[in-house]
Every structure is written in C-alpha cells, then in structure tokens.
Amino acid sequence: MTASLDLGVHRLRAAYRLGALDCKKVIEEVLSRIAAAGDDKVWISRVSDEALRQAAATLDARRGEFERLPLYGVPFAVKDNIDVEGMVTTAACPGFAYQAKASAEVVRRLVEAGAIVVGRPISISSPPAWSACARPTAFRAIRSTPTTSPAARARARRSRYRRAW
C-alpha cells in the first residue's frame, strides 16, 4: 500500500472501475493509517479489524454489482449520536449509552450502497454534550439560553420558526 492512496469517493470509484484496486486493499490502507496514528484519541469506537476485512471481502465478492453500488468500497465514519447496528451509541455521553439493535436509516442506506462503516470518531460537537453529562442541569441551561447576537435575533424574527424565549 502507498501512503498516497486517495480515499476520496471519485478516486476510489475510478480505481475500482479500472480494476486497479479492491476493497481489501482499501481497508488494509485504512487500518494501516489508523495503526500509524497510534492512540491519537480520534475514535470513540471502531469496527474490529477482522469485521472490516470481512466487509471488504464480502464487497469484493460482489464486484459484478459495482455499477449498482454507488458507494462501493468507500470507508466512512458515523457520528456517535447515529445508531449503527451492533455498536454502542453514546451521543458522547457514556451515561446515555445503549447497544443499537438496528442501524439508522442513513447508515443502512450507505451500507446498502456499498460503503463500509469504519467506526465512530470524536466529534467537534462532543464538548457541549460532555459538559451536559457532567452537569445534568446544563441541558436546561442550553435549551433556555437566548441568542444574544443581534444578527441571530434578526434572523429569528424573520424566520417562520421562531423560538419562544
């Protein structure tokens, strides 16, 4: 594998179409990059290496369906407030954790289109959730805090979806 393998959708599709690449190589590249990064605190949780390799092998066996699978072999990550079957959903708050029995519709459709779930990355929106976990009254505070920006207030007045502060 080369470090220059472009994991963008269009480049992957072109390489798959030419037969220059298979899903196994892409997943090995993804795993290689994750290993090279070490414990960089990017992932809340990940699909196991073996499960990723199995998903790649399953897709490689479906190579004949390439044109029907618009996201064939495209690796992707899922935010932690969206259910992925078999993974724990926490919304970045371990106290709210539960095991997802089924994937959310968006995840199900992506997988049906040939994409491969790699895991759940830390989200930049996680800090407010963590602070709300640490202090349960934060939810009430977040919900009831009025917008102080004059521009935001003007937009809210023009909006048909007005907030009742």
Torsion of CA 46, 87, 7, 92, to 10 degrees: -80
Using one digit for the tens of pLDDT, what is the confidence trace for 68-121? 999 999 999 999 889 999 999 988 788 889 999 999 999 999 999 999 999 999
List the chain domain ranges: 9-123
Using one digit for the tens of pLDDT, what is the confidence trace for 114-159? 999 999 998 765 444 444 454 444 444 433 444 445 565 555 555 5
pTM for the model stands at 0.73
The Cβ-side half-sphere exposure at 33, using a 13 Å CA radius, reads 16
C-alpha closest to that of 74 among 128, 121, 15, 126: 15
